[in-house]
Amino acid sequence: MKILFKTCMAALCSIMLLNVQAQNESPLLTNMTNREAMTLDGKWRYIVDPMENGYYNYRYKVNPNGYFKDQKPETVSDLIEYDFDKSGQLNVPGDWNTQREDLFFYEGTVWYKKSFIYEPSDQRAFLYFGAVNYDAKVYLNGEKIGEHIGGFTPFNFEVTNLLKAGENFVVVKVDNTRKSESIPTKNSDWYNFGGITRSVKLVEVPKTFIRDYAIQLKKGSKTDVEGWVQLDGAQLTQKVQLEIPEARVKLTLTPDATGLAKVSFKTKLSLWSDKNPKLYEVSLTSGDDQVKDQIGFRSIETRGNDILLNGEPVFLKGISIHEVAAFTGGRVIAPEQCLTLLNWARDLGCNFVRLAHYPHNEDMVRLADQMGIMVWSEIPVYWTIDWENQSVFDNAQNQLREMITRDKNRAAVIMWSVANETPISDPRTDFLKRLVVSARDYDNTRLLTGALEPHSEDGYRVIDDALGESLDVIGINNYCGWYGGTPVSCAGVEWKMIYDKPLVISEFGGGALQGLHGLPEERWTEEYQEDVYKYNIEMLKNIPFLRGTTPWILMDFYSARRPLPDIQDFFNRKGLISDQGVKKKAFFVLKKYYSEKPIQLD
């Protein structure tokens, strides 16, 4: 790769090898982890723009000469009221809220700018964003190249013919304003971190290249691998070599006129599981392009109330996790921070994590793959979505598609979730059922779930939400002892479900300020939280169709809904671990339950 790179302020550094949805977005390139690319991470100049002066003129019309032009005065009399190069800097990846005290509560537009040097080559070039929350308008050298909506999924634009020899600059208008027609909507119980929250890369690929592929075991099979490889470029029928040396697989595939080559072969594999997180080196070569990936093979199915991993019933010992880093409380920005979270989950005795409430970064999922931790992955269809609005559905569907596109080769991911705690109505159920159909269309190998709510009837908790018909695994959030009832009362709660399907209690828990001690009746003490866990676990032991649980939550996390002074201080305190990494008493209650619970059920 022949790309030179420099930050926007410094001189040349070094040669580096490097819809609602997105407008002009190119189909997503996958396996960004293993592709060679030039990073655009690091310091970016930023301008906070609460009035959107950089976008609209004073008549509130889009200004063709907005901040994205990065104009400079040409004469001493010129009026230019902004200057990126004299403005402050923010780290990318990263949220702005935890980087600048004055931006902690900021919601609105921030402009980001970065310069780099490009040396022309005969390769194609793509500008790739791991995630930007929430609305990203992207400009290259003063021209808009596209827009992406949705804060947690990747997107890319082809810039082959837009790059100039020498200095180029990217400007991104990032807007995290909450809206009722967004996903998530105005109301959610996690922090609305704004910014370019995941890595930015400039990727160069050959004229015809391997854009995407799916290589997994066929549903229900332990030996039949099925999938496809998608080429992009002019030579769409160019042959593709697929190799898995360790499994002695070596195949030549012939794509059709659209560049799609079907994969189908039989082989004996050491199956991926929580006990054996085996990943195979898979290599795909076509023309001048080669991509390598580390892929695990396993089957995941349900039978009645059971979840079968490689044909064996399994109990999912899980925990819910937000994508926030210990100690900073901000968005995760490095793989080590993901590892800290997953190691804590491991320490709890987990073989499963619920990555709430949106797709987490790719490192998180890849680490889970390596560590043998199964994953529930979800989109932020949360609480009160605008169900009857088609563009809202399109947005949800797009986020679902981007999540599945990125992570479909990760064995760790065993289920996709389409929603969390959504209020029941016909339009909502119709919306979510359509999403389930889309998810199965994108990936027919995994289980579909959603976090639903029970209702109370004749002293029972009853599960009969009509969405359950479409799901493989029923997730239920239930806060006995916190939002209703006393902790002690939970032990006697009994459950009924109209579906012959597995149940995962996807949330239960209560808040405690780490270090605050008192009587078990006293809210916010570690003893209260400990009792919530103790008695909920008694309840869990009496649910015959229970096949897993992901209590709420591994670690305390920022939430603007949680203002109580000296207790919450804008943290949701339901963590089993404080934001500073100290374990609370309830951690050990759950750990004991998991250590006593057999993973394999008869």
**What does the binding site for ligand GCB look like in residue numbers (CB under 6 A)?**
189, 357, 420-421, 477, 507, 552, 572, 574
**E-strand spans in 387-516?**
413-420, 447-452, 455-457, 460-463, 473-477, 494-497, 503-507
- Closer to ligand GCB by Cβ: residue 260 or 564: 564
Least gap, CB of 546 to ligand GCB (angstroms)? 18
d(CA 174, CA 96): 11
Identify the bridge partners of residue 350 per DSSP, sorted by sequence position. none
- Closer to ligand GCB by Cβ: residue 127 or 435: 435
> Per the omega criterion (within 30 degrees of 0), is the bond before 553 cis?
yes
Q: Which tokens sit at 538?
A: 């008694």
Query: If DSSP codes are grouped into helix, strand and coil, which group holds residue 415?
Result: strand
**DSSP strand pairing (447-452 vs 473-477):** parallel
d(CA 110, CA 105): 13
Residue written as tokens 């229970």? 546
Least gap, CB of 484 to ligand GCB (angstroms)? 12
CB 154 within 8 A of CB 28: yes
Instruction: Provide φ and ψ at 127, rounded to 5°.
Output: -100, 120
Shortest-Cβ-distance residue relative to ligand GCB: 189
CB 329 within 8 A of CB 558: yes
Least gap, CB of 526 to ligand GCB (angstroms)? 17
- Closer to ligand GCB by Cβ: residue 337 or 420: 420
Using the Cα atoms of residue 550, residue 551, residue 556 and residue 557 in order, give the sign of their dihedral.
Answer: positive
What count of Cα atoms within 13 Å lies in the side-chain half-sphere of residue 158? 16
Least gap, CB of 540 to ligand GCB (angstroms)? 17
- Closer to ligand GCB by Cβ: residue 357 or 360: 357
d(CA 284, CA 28): 17
- Closer to ligand GCB by Cβ: residue 70 or 507: 507
d(CA 138, CA 173): 7
> Residue type for 550, please?
T
Least gap, CB of 498 to ligand GCB (angstroms)? 22
- Closer to ligand GCB by Cβ: residue 501 or 574: 574
3-state secondary structure string across 360-376: CCHHHHHHHHHHCCEEE
CB 70 within 8 A of CB 86: no
- Closer to ligand GCB by Cβ: residue 67 or 552: 552
Q: How many CB atoms lie within 10 A of CB 11?
A: 7
- Closer to ligand GCB by Cβ: residue 284 or 576: 576
Least gap, CB of 73 to ligand GCB (angstroms)? 49
Dihedral, 524, 530, 535, 538 alpha carbons, nearest 10:
150
Least gap, CB of 420 to ligand GCB (angstroms)? 5
First to last CA, the chain: 55
Least gap, CB of 561 to ligand GCB (angstroms)? 8
Least gap, CB of 456 to ligand GCB (angstroms)? 16
Least gap, CB of 367 to ligand GCB (angstroms)? 23
- Closer to ligand GCB by Cβ: residue 96 or 191: 191
- Closer to ligand GCB by Cβ: residue 115 or 449: 449
